[in-house]
């Protein structure tokens, strides 16, 4: 590479003719992607583009999380715990990115948002199909949420997920196949119901946590699931705090109570036994 007058020459091997081959923009379908931002404020408000891109990129990351969590279930069903853990590690990195994105939207001041908020009508992140699908996969199932998607192509897919086992169900079934005494009440539960704490699981998990070396991969899986829960809760908190600093305690555009609704979501949990078992662990040091 040489530089003349501050301009870098192209290397000789760099391809510049794409008349008969696929280029970067074609592979990524950038014409479609970059034309998908359509502000509706008139005159167009400068900050509406930020609002749209924030939510569109979130949906793209959620699409990948869904893709990965479905794969995690398949790996667990096939007793490929190590591969499932690798995939969950990727999910954790995505979650970190999703949480950090809120700092960009937080640059939208209350006065700026107020200038175009009314054009959103009743549209709201509450209506995100992919967010609900992820919650279903992780155990926060609520059949009434299907009402929000009545008449949409996503309704059937979300209803199917409602009746499918969660990631946690698949993990516990793997443990049962390995000989861990997972209670039948857990293995035969109605998977369409929201996960609630099963105290009868605690003795099994206590055995794992009090003999880490003897159950290392299972222990690692439990802690990875706790990581996923922590990251999800942090995302929820960042969402709530960003909304609060932007609109205060106004109602949400979709009809929710706004910040109050988001605060109550912080009480939801995916894997309660993995937290409760910490209370049960005996002090192992003499």
Element (H, E) at 129: helix 129-138
Residue 54 assigned to a binding site: yes
Residue 51 assigned to a binding site: yes
User: Peptide bond preceding 197: is omega within 30 degrees of 0, i.e. cis?
Assistant: no
- Is the Cβ–Cβ distance between 155 and 127 less than 8 Å? no
Q: What are the residues whose beta carbons fall under 8 Å from the beta carbon of 253, sequence distance 6 or more?
A: 117, 120, 121, 122, 123, 124
Residue 67 assigned to a binding site: no
End-to-end CA distance of the chain: 65
Residue 57 assigned to a binding site: no
Left (φ > 0), alpha (ψ -120 to 50) or beta: where does 179 sit? Answer: left
Q: Determine the number of helices (DSSP H) and then strands (DSSP E) in the chain.
A: 13, 2
Residue 261 assigned to a binding site: no
Q: For residue 120, give the DSSP letter.
A: G
Residue 239 assigned to a binding site: yes
Planar angle of CA 82, 185, 157, nearest 5 degrees: 65
CB atoms within 10 A of CB 159: 15
**Annotated binding-site members for substrate:** 51-55, 113, 117, 253
**Annotated binding-site members:** 51-55, 113, 117, 239, 253
**Annotated binding-site members for heme:** 239
């Amino acid at each position: 590479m040489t530089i003349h007058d501050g301009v870098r020459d192209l290397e000789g091997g760099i391809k510049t003719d794409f008349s008969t081959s696929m280029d970067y923009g074609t592979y990524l379908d950038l014409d479609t992607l970059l034309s998908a931002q359509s502000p509706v404020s008139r005159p167009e408000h400068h900050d509406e583009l930020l609002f749209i891109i924030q939510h569109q990129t979130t949906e793209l990351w959620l699409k990948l999380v869904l893709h990965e969590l479905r794969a995690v279930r398949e790996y667990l069903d096939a007793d490929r715990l190590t591969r499932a853990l690798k995939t969950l590690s990727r999910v954790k990195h995505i979650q970190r990115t999703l949480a950090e994105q809120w700092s960009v939207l937080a640059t939208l001041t209350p006065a700026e948002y107020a200038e175009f908020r009314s054009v959103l009508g009743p549209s709201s992140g509450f209506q995100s199909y992919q967010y609900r699908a992820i919650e279903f996969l992780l155990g926060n199932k609520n059949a009434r949420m299907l009402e929000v998607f009545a008449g949409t192509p996503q309704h059937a897919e979300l209803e199917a997920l409602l009746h499918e086992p969660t990631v946690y169900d698949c993990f516990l079934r793997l443990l049962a196949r390995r000989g861990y005494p997972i209670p039948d009440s857990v293995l035969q539960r109605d998977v369409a119901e929201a996960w609630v704490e099963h105290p009868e699981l605690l003795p099994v998990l206590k055995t794992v946590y009090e003999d880490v070396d003897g159950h290392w991969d299972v222990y690692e899986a439990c802690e990875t699931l706790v990581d996923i829960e922590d990251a999800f809760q942090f995302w929820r908190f960042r969402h709530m705090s960003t909304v609060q600093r932007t609109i205060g305690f106004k109602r949400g555009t979709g009809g929710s109570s706004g910040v109050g609704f988001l605060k109550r979501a912080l009480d939801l949990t995916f894997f309660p036994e993995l937290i409760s078992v910490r209370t049960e662990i005996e002090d192992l040091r003499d």
